[in-house]
Each structure stands twice: as structure tokens, then as C-alpha cells.
Amino acid sequence: SQTIHQWPATLVQPVGSPLSLECTVEGTSNPNLYWYRQAAGRGLQLLFYSVGIGQISSEVPQNLSASRPQDRQFILSSKKLLLSDSGFYLCAWSRTGVPPTPQHFGDGTRLSIL
């Protein structure tokens, strides 16, 4: 069976510090990978998606970047965090192909910027 791991679960960072959140998927190959942000009391906003190693698409301009160094590894980064980067970050994967398959989500990372 497939599993998705996301860490850390909680993170408190000062403004201006760097960020690295990691997500890995097991039990499947060549998945589509996604990073979402959920602000408090709001819906999910798609930040990045990837259909293959080194292939990253950004959905919204922002202070964050994403990378996919390996097939089942997806990393969310920032060089200098802003207060507005606070939120709940969720990684997700889906099977490649059409029609669109359900996305399966990790447990999320709660990021607080001080």
C-alpha cells in the first residue's frame, strides 16, 4: 500500500529564517506531487505541483520554492520566512494519468512564524 510521510509536524521559526519541509511517498512510482497551504479557517491553496523529477510548477507568486530531487521526494523551501508564511502546509500525491485520480494527503506541518 502507499503511504505519504511529511515532517516536521510542527515548526516555530523566526521571521527571516530559512525553511525546509520534506515529503516522501512510498509504495508507488512517478506520482504527481503537490504542496498546499491552508491559512487558519480557510480553504486549501495549491502552491506547487510536480509531475516528475526536477519538474516544478508554481501556482501562485510567493516567498516559497519547491524541489523534487528524487521521484518520491518533494521539498518546500524558503530562504527568508515572512510572517505571512504562517499556516498549515499539506503535501499530497496522486497517481499519474487521466482522468484525475484522488489526491492523498500527508498529516501536515503547522508552521508558526514569530
Partner 1 sequence: AQKVTQAQTEISVVEKEDVTLDCVYETRDTTYYLFWYKQPPSGELVFLIRRNSFDEQNEISGRYSWNFQKSTSSFNFTITASQVVDSAVYFCALSEWKAGGTSYGKLTFGQGTILTVHP
Q: Binding residues for partner 1, per CB under 8 A?
A: 32, 34, 42-46, 49, 51, 57, 59, 88, 90, 92, 94, 98-108, 110
Please tell me whether residue 17 adopts helix, strand or coil conformation.
Answer: coil
Of 64 and 92, nearer to partner 1 (C-beta) is 92
Q: How many CB atoms lie within 10 A of CB 63?
A: 12
The residue (of 86 and 103) whose beta carbon lies closer to partner 1 is 103
**Least distance to partner 1, CB of residue 61, Å:** 17
What is the closest distance, in whole angstroms, from the C-beta atom of residue 39 to partner 1 in the complex?
11
C-alpha cell at 44: 486549501
Grid cell, residue 77, equals: 523551501
Cis upstream peptide for 99 (omega within 30°): yes
